[in-house]
Amino acid sequence: MKVTAAHVKELRERTGAGMMDCRKALIESECDLELAIEVLRKAGAAKAAKKSGRVAAEGLVDAVITADGTAVLVEVNCETDFVARNESFRSFVDTIKSTVANEGVDGVADKVNVARTELVATIGENIKVRRAERFDSDSANFAYVHPGNRIAVILQLQGGNDSDEVSKFGKDLCFHIAAMNPLCTSQNDVPSDVIEQERRIAREQLTAEGKPEGMIEKIIPGKLKRFYKDRCLLDQEAAMGDDGVTNQALLDALMKSIDTPVTVTGFMRYELGEGIEKKVDNLAAEVAAMTGGA
């Protein structure tokens, strides 16, 4: 059976695959549309496997509060920022968010692997579902996505009420987390190994400065206090408050205003590509290698 333009058009509309790939699949399947789709899927899986080792450090992070109050945070990576702006890629990210909201975080990459494989075959870049977080709706959840989708935050507050004051505090605190990147909520949440590391660094610095041992042990608590102020959310100076006012002070003022206890029970901040070792292209070195250094 002869492959016609109408056959190719219909297959492209159903799969999003390239024109030549559709034509090849139709020839192989003798114009059986369903079989052609299967051919394209197998080809897509092969392409995805070949691209799986390529560094994917671009893409986007996104956060959403669903209709029932569930908070979802995701990072999906691709190889270039051009693809990150592609509507098919963004639609795939929406699929990830819906899957996490409805089915949870566990196994999310496996659950969307067919869609991911097909997208890799269509777009031609490695695409990875890197990570996801889900906060259930048993508390007040807030989200913030910085323009450009390179930083996103979700925050959970326990207690309070549905007042505008609580809503403003939650939104402002999300913005603060995006801007200031705190390590944890309070001093009590700092891991013991991190505290010991800070103690060791402080001791080494003070020793190098020639401070006597007795003085070092008296200075270290002050160094730790400064560390808490720099890295703990509630100890940090509020990005959305007056100079010198901490987030804890704003929280205390909020509770006094609404006469109801409020607790920050959790937050998560994603920054696009953090921790991924990116390939740095050196065009001059590549040209020199190709020309023998001439």
Q: What's the 3-state SS for 75-88?
A: EEEECCHHHHCCHH
47 with 116, same domain?
no
Does residue 241 lie within any of the structural domains? no
Amino acid at 252: D
33 with 70, same domain?
no
Q: What is the pTM of this model?
A: 0.76
Residue 209's CATH number = 1.10.286
Does residue 205 lie within any of the structural domains? yes
Tell which phi-psi region holds residue 68, choosing left (phi > 0), alpha (psi between -120 and 50) or beta: alpha
Does residue 251 lie within any of the structural domains? no
Does residue 42 lie within any of the structural domains? yes
80 with 35, same domain?
no
All residue ranges of the chain with pLDDT < 50 are 45-46, 48-51, 283, 294
Contacts of 24 (CB under 8 A, 6+ apart): 39
91 with 105, same domain?
yes
120 with 104, same domain?
yes
Per the DSSP assignment, residues forming a β-bridge with 128 are 77
| Residues 58, 82: Cα–Cα separation, whole Å | 9
Q: Which of 66, 67, 61, 65 is nearest to 84 (CA)?
A: 61
Does residue 254 lie within any of the structural domains? no
Does residue 145 lie within any of the structural domains? no
Cα 271 to Cα 28, 60, 215, distances in angstroms = 44, 9, 40
Cα 3 to Cα 9, 35, 122, 137, distances in angstroms = 11, 14, 21, 52
Structure tokens at 127: 């695409």
Q: Please report how many Cα atoms fall inside a 13 Å half-sphere around the Cα of residue 8, on the Cβ side.
A: 12
Final residue of a structural domain among 184, 200, 228: 228
| Residues 60, 81: Cα–Cα separation, whole Å | 9
Contacts of 109 (CB under 8 A, 6+ apart): 116, 128, 129
115 with 61, same domain?
yes
53 and 64 in contact (C-beta within 8 Å)?
Answer: no
Helix or strand run (H / E) with residue 263: strand 262-271
Q: Within 10 A of 168 (CB to CB), how many other CB atoms are there?
A: 12
Residue 130's pLDDT is 92
Final residue of a structural domain among 112, 138, 164: 138
78 with 47, same domain?
no
Cα 83 to Cα 87, 112, 183, 282, distances in angstroms = 9, 18, 31, 22
42-72: burial string, b at 16+ Cβ within 10 Å, e else: ebbbebbeebeeeebbbbbbbbbbbeeebbb
Final residue of a structural domain among 51, 71, 87: 51
Domain that holds residue 29: 5-51
Residue 22's CATH number = 1.10.8.10
Does residue 67 lie within any of the structural domains? yes
Residue 55's pLDDT is 59
The total of structural domains in the chain comes to 3
| Residues 248, 239: Cα–Cα separation, whole Å | 12
27 with 75, same domain?
no
Does residue 284 lie within any of the structural domains? no
Residue 43's pLDDT is 67
Structure tokens at 249: 């002070």
Residue 66's CATH number = 3.30.479.20
